[in-house]
Amino acid sequence: MTGNSVASHYASSGIAGRLVAALRAEIGPEAAITPDALAPLDHFHGRGVLATRELLAVLAPLPADHVLDIGCGIGGPARWIAAKTGCRVTGIDLTPDFVEAATALTEATGMAGRVRCLQGSALDLPFAESTFDRAYSQNVVMNIADKKRFYAEAFRVLKPGGLLALSNGAAGSGDPYFPVPWAATAATSFLSTVDDTRRDVEAAGFAIERFHDVTDDIRAQVAAQRRRAEAEGLPRLGLHVLMGDRMRTYLANSQRSIEDGRVRMVEVLARKPA
């Protein structure tokens, strides 16, 4: 998928205003806009803030750390992680609409001193070598054909001894049920196998400390989410506020793909050797 097609797939104008209006309608006009309050709306992951919480437990950044979020979306995980740990987070995303919204929401939450989000490519990170203590990426590489370059760039900008945490969708038994959150058709979906994921991370120079296919662990949870949405509809606050009504189909197809083993979910913790 080219940079333009990625941005077009995710494009959505007026994101920050729409999310704040939905949140205000739910919690009241005077309530504080916080990373926790925004969490149902700004963690662009099928499992939402729960997936970010699990990633944070593995990455375990220290307050003094500078952390990189590769594919930061509208900045929900970056704000939430910075608020929980006191670390500094820089995010980068290819989609201008997302970065504009991330900047506005970061200011609205009072997090601008610790979080900033920039527009740019994960394949050409605009940072010097050995800049970051830790890095993470959630559900981004499915949009990227050149995965070796993606991991090599993450390796380059990490300090020696730095950690990279990944939550990746991987190829399973057959194509996903399209459209899904990252692609409308198979032509723009780039899923590597679980084994290729391990090989590509190691080929970049990383030492893998933890590699876990979590699909079987989360299948029941994902199925329960799908059935609840079918029976009750989506909650007032959810990713459909971010992406519009198309998100209902995207989420259902993604959930079915995980349930049926067409998409595997892999979590990785890798270290750049000291």
Total domain count for the chain? Answer: 1
pLDDT, average across residues 143-165: 97
CATH code for the domain in which residue 191 is found = 3.40.50.150
pLDDT at 13: 81
Q: Is the pLDDT of residue 12 over 90?
A: no
Percent of the chain with pLDDT over 70: 96
**pTM of the predicted structure, to 2 decimals:** 0.95
Tell the residue number behind the tokens 């959810």, with chain if given.
238
pLDDT at 3: 60
SS3 labels along 32-84: CCCHHHHHHHHCCCCCHHHHHHHHHHHHCCCCCCEEEEECCCCCHHHHHHHHH
Domain span at 43:
3-271
Under the banding of pLDDT at 50, 70 and 90, the label for residue 234 is confident
Neighbouring C-beta atoms of residue 105, cutoff 10 Å: 25
CA distances to 39, 56, 77, 180, 251 from 42, rounded to whole Å, are 5, 16, 8, 18, 15
Percent of the chain with pLDDT over 90: 92
pLDDT at 46: 82
pLDDT at 140: 96
Residue 261, token pair as written in the block:
């083993």
pLDDT, average across residues 153-176: 97
pLDDT at 20: 96
